[in-house]
Structure 1
C-alpha cells in the first residue's frame, strides 16, 4: 500500500519555537546574563521539537508496516489456497550407510621354495610362469659326492656281511679234521713222554742219572699235556660252532652301516626340489651352477585356485563379522562374492585396523596378487529421528532448518492451516534427510513447494 506524502506530512507534528525579541542596544552586565538564558531556552525547545518529530516518524512507520501486513494477509486470503503434496512422518531408530574398505588380493598359498641342504645347483627343470603339479621335480643339486660316500659304505657292509655269514655257518670240515689230527699227534707225544718219565724215575732210583735229567723229562711231559688241552679246546670250538656274542656284534656293525647308507640316500633325495602344492612359478631367483645355501629361495610358488582378499576394517566392525558371512568384494570394477574365512586377532600397527580374510568364491584364478580389492559393507547407525525429503527443508536461523506441516483443518474440504517446525539435520542420504526436532509421529509433512509457504497460510492437500 502506498502512503500519500501529504498524509505523512500532516501526521508529523511541527515544532514550535518561541523567540523573544528585544530592541538592539548595548546591554549592561545584568542584561547580558538574561540574554544567555534566553539562548539556552531556545536550544531546549529545538531539541524537544526534534524528538517529537522522530516519534512521529516511528509511529508512521509502524502504521505503514501494519497496513502492509494487513494488505498481504488480505491478498493471500483473497487468493485460492495453494495445492501441496504431503507425506506422513514416521520415526526411525537408525539408518544404514554403505561404506567401502580397501585391501589387496593375496594368493591362497604362496611359498619361497629352497633346498634343505646346501650344494651346487646342477639343473633347473622349470622356469617362472610354469604351471606345476604337486610333487613335480623343480630343480636338482650335484650329488656325485654323496653317491661316492654311499658306494664306500655299501662296500664295508658287504665285508661285514661276509664275516657274519662265516660265523653263522660254523667251522669247515677241513678245519675240524686238522684239529682232530693235532689232538691225536699231541696224545701220542704225551704217551711217549710219560714212558720216558717212568724210565727216568727208575734210572734215577738206581743212581744211573741225575735229578736234573729226571726233571727235564717231567717238564717235557707237562708241556705236552698243556698243548694237548689247547688243541682239544680248539677242536671243541670247531665242533660246537660260533658263540652268539660275536654274531650279535657283527650284526650291530652291519646295522650301523645301514643307517649311514639311509642317511646318504635321504640327502640324495633332498637334493631334488619338489613342488609342495600345485600352482604357478611366480619367480625364479637363482641360475644353474650357483652354490646355494640351505634354505636359500630358488623359486616362488603361488598356489592355484581361488584367491583371497585381505582387507583392513575398523575394530568395531570386526566384532560384527563372523566366519562364513558373505560380502561383496570389487576388483577391477567387477563384483565378486567373498566369504569370511578368518579375522586376524592382532591390529595392524600402522593402520590400526583388523585384517579380514575373504575367499573369493567366483573370482577367476587370473587375478594377480597385490591387486586392489574393495569390500562393501552396509552398517547400521543407531540414531533416532525422522526421514524427510530434502525438498521439504527450508533454511532457518542460526544454522537450523525448518519444515512445514499441516495444522488445523479448515471447514472447506482438504484445506488446512500450515505451521513451521524447526529441525536439525543429522544425516543426508540421496534425496532424503534424517532430522530431529519438534516433529511428532503422525504429522503430515509438506514435501514440495515449501519455499512458497508462510506460517498461517491455508493450503489444499492434493
Structure 2
C-alpha cells in the first residue's frame, strides 16, 4: 500500500533537471525585453522633440521676411482752434390756413347735388351741396295745414267768447260760462303756437339739408358724389380758408426771450424769403417736441402755398473752444463720440503714422462740423480715404509727397 502510493506520487509529478529559479527566469525574459524596447523608443521620441524645440528657438533658424507696405498718400488739414463761434440756427414749421373745416350734413339723407369740385373757390354763405328734401317738404305742408286748422279753431273760440260776453251782459248766462269759453280760446291759441313751432322745426331741417360755406376759401377735398346716402355728420367736403396764412414754428426755449411779438422776421419759404410779423408765442413747451410754438402771420401777397415748409433763422454766439473738420473726416465711435485720424511723425526718418483721436461734435453745419478733442493747434488731420486707414498705418501727406517730388528727393 505504501509503496504504491509513493509510485503514484512520482508519476504525477515527473522529475525535471531545472531548478525553480531557472524556470521563473525563463518565463520573465520576454516581458523584460519588451520593456527595454519601449524605453528606448520613448527616449528617441523625446530626443527628437527636444531637438525640434531647440531648432525653433535658435536665433540662427530660418526666418520669413515680410516687407512693410508703402505709405498711403492722404490729404490733411491743420487744426485751427476757435474760442467762439457765430452760428445760425434754423427752426422749421409749416405755413397753414388759419381755418380748415370738413363740412357735412347734420341729418342723413340722399345727396341731391354737390355744386363744387376740388379747387373751386367759394364765398361765405354760398350753398355748395344739398340733400333730397321732398320728404321734409311733405312734412312741412302737413304742419302748415295743422297751423291753419289751429288758427281756425282759435278764431272760432274768440267769436264764441264775444257772443257769450254779450249774453252774460244781458243776464242770460253766468260768468262761469263766459270764463269757460275764454279758456277754450286760450287753449286754441296754444295749439296754434305748437303747430307753428312744428312747422318751424321742419323748416330748420330743410335748411340743414344744405351745406353753405362758413367763410371764403377753396375746396380741397370731396368725399362723396350725388346719389350717395350721407350719414349725420359725415364729411362731404373739405374747405380751407383763403387769404392770409399763419406759420406755426417750434423754437427752442432758450431763444423765446429773443422773440418780440409784433416785430417783423424774415422766414425762408420754398418760394423765397418772406417778411412775416410775429403774432404770438405760446410760452408752453410741447412735451413731444420739446419746443415752444411761435405763430407768424404770412401775408397773402407773398404767394406762399398752404402746407409748404417755412424756416426761421436765428443767429447765436457759441462760446466753445474747438475747430472745424469736414464730415468725411469723422468716423463713428462709441457713446456718441467720433474719431479723427491725426498724422504723427515718428523717428529720425520722419515716417508718418495715422493715430486715432476721439473728439466730440459740438455743432454740425452742412458738410462740416465743429468739434473739440485732444489735439494741438497745427496738428494734421486726415480728411479723405478713412475706409483705407487703420490705426498705426504708415501714411504720407500729399503736400509732403509733392514737395519731395519737386525737390527730387
What TM-score comes out, normalization by structure 2 length?
0.52
Hey, what does 2:308 align to over in structure 1? 371
* Residues 1:154 and 2:154 are matched in the alignment: no
**1:134 offset after TM fit, Å?**
0.6
Hey, what does 1:118 align to over in structure 2? 108
Q: Is the 8 A contact 2:247 2:297 kept in 1?
A: yes
Q: Is the 8 A contact 1:306 1:364 kept in 2?
A: no
Q: Deviations over 1:357-402 (max 9, x none)?
A: 211236534x333212111222355x599xxxxxxxxxxxxx9xxx
**1:236 offset after TM fit, Å?**
6.5
**1:160 offset after TM fit, Å?**
1.6
* Residues 1:317 and 2:255 are matched in the alignment: yes
Hey, what does 2:42 align to over in structure 1? none
Q: 1:116 to 1:234 in 2, by over 3 A?
A: farther
Q: What is the CA–CA distance in structure 2 between the aligned matches of 1:338 and 1:273, rounded to whole Å?
A: 34
Q: Is the 8 A contact 1:341 1:357 kept in 2?
A: yes
Q: What is the CA–CA distance in structure 2 between the aligned matches of 1:150 and 1:363, rounded to whole Å?
A: 49
- Which residues in structure 2 correspond to 1:49-448 (within 5 Å)? 97-170=87-160, 243-332=181-270, 334-361=272-299, 363-365=301-303, 367-380=304-317, 383=319
Q: 1:240 to 1:369 in 2, by over 3 A?
A: closer
- Answer 1 or 2: which has greater helix percent: 1
Q: Is the 8 A contact 2:243 2:300 kept in 1?
A: no
What is the total number of aligned residue pairs between the two structures? 246
Gaps of 5+ in 1: 1-92, 180-231, 386-398, 400-425, 434-462
Q: What is the CA–CA distance in structure 2 between the aligned matches of 1:363 and 1:310, rounded to whole Å?
A: 19
Q: What is the CA–CA distance in structure 1 between the aligned matches of 2:271 and 2:119, rounded to whole Å?
A: 26
Q: What is the CA–CA distance in structure 1 between the aligned matches of 2:196 and 2:95, rounded to whole Å?
A: 50
| RMSD (Å), alpha carbons | 3.8
Q: What is the CA–CA distance in structure 2 between the aligned matches of 1:378 and 1:172, rounded to whole Å?
A: 90
Secondary structure at 2:276 match in 1: strand
Q: Is the 8 A contact 1:342 1:357 kept in 2?
A: yes
Q: What is the CA–CA distance in structure 1 between the aligned matches of 2:171 and 2:138, rounded to whole Å?
A: 45
Q: 1:258 to 1:172 in 2, by over 3 A?
A: closer
**1:262 offset after TM fit, Å?**
1.0
Whichever of the two has the greater Rg, that structure is: 1
Q: What is the CA–CA distance in structure 1 between the aligned matches of 2:248 and 2:269, rounded to whole Å?
A: 12
Secondary structure at 1:319 match in 2: helix
**1:345 offset after TM fit, Å?**
4.4
What TM-score comes out, normalization by structure 1 length?
0.47
Secondary structure at 2:302 match in 1: coil
Q: Deviations over 1:327-380 (max 9, x none)?
A: 111112510101112323443444322222211236534x33321211122235
**1:171 offset after TM fit, Å?**
7.8
Q: What is the CA–CA distance in structure 1 between the aligned matches of 2:207 and 2:119, rounded to whole Å?
A: 25
Hey, what does 1:53 align to over in structure 2? none
Q: What is the CA–CA distance in structure 1 between the aligned matches of 2:302 and 2:156, rounded to whole Å?
A: 69
